[in-house]
Amino acid sequence: MRPLIRLLPVLLVLFPLLLQAGQKKAPPVSVRLFCEGNEKEGESFVTPVELTTPQKRVFLRKVPIVTEKDITSFYPFPGRDGMIAAYFRLDAHGADKLDQFTTEDRGKLAVIMVNGRVAAALRIEQRVRDGILYVPGGILPDEVAQLETKYPVIGRESEFGKKPVKEKPVKEKKQ
């Protein structure tokens, strides 16, 4: 019995490491939509976040509305802030969640985080029924490169995952 008691502290240290080793890898890129919460909801449900535009401290609900798992394709373009903006096409599940969110939480702030960083914050003014998540800016070029490896660009879905065709050099004819 004594040898087991001596091993208990070692097992307590190793157990969390074993759990961590069995977890899935973090996604190469994360895109998440969060809803504004209320400080009164408690730290179990909301977390404070500092926004730069608009500059203020808000509380966000910890459970995201939409995640990168709901995205099927995206379309990057120049944003209003000089950074990159994008449209994200969502699958049926994500589109339903976005529709429900924009219906029930109208007037609240929506915050889009890319790789754990606040990319944009929008006030929900109208219902979004088309399953397209609009991010007005805040996406970095290296994040677009990461997104391009994971999702097709809208309008070029058939090209996704194909290797570029190498052009053969043209031989000049001797005259």
Domain span including residue 116 = 26-157
More confident residue, 2 or 88: 88
Tokens of 86: 């994008």
* C-beta separation of 37 from 50 below 8 A: no
Residue 117 and residue 51: Cα distance in Å, rounded? 10
Averaged pLDDT for residues 80-101: 94
The C-alpha angle 119, 67, 147, rounded to 5 degrees, equals 65
- With respect to residue 64, please indicate whether it lies within any of the assigned structural domains: yes
In a domain, 171, yes or no: no
108 in a structural domain: yes
Residue 143 in any domain: the answer is yes
User: Does 105 map to a domain?
Assistant: yes
- Give the DSSP letter of residue 68: G
Checking if the pLDDT of 11 tops 50, the result is: no
Burial label for 66, CB within 10 Å (0-12, 13-18, 19+), is buried
CATH number of the domain within which 49 lies = 3.30.1360.200
Domain-located, residue 106: yes
Collect all residues with Cβ–Cβ distance below 8 Å to 140 and sequence separation of at least 6: 83, 84, 114
| Total structural domains within the chain | 1
What pLDDT sits at residue 59? 93
Residue 172: inside a domain:
no
pTM of the predicted model, to two decimals?
A: 0.74
Does a structural domain hold residue 5?
Answer: no
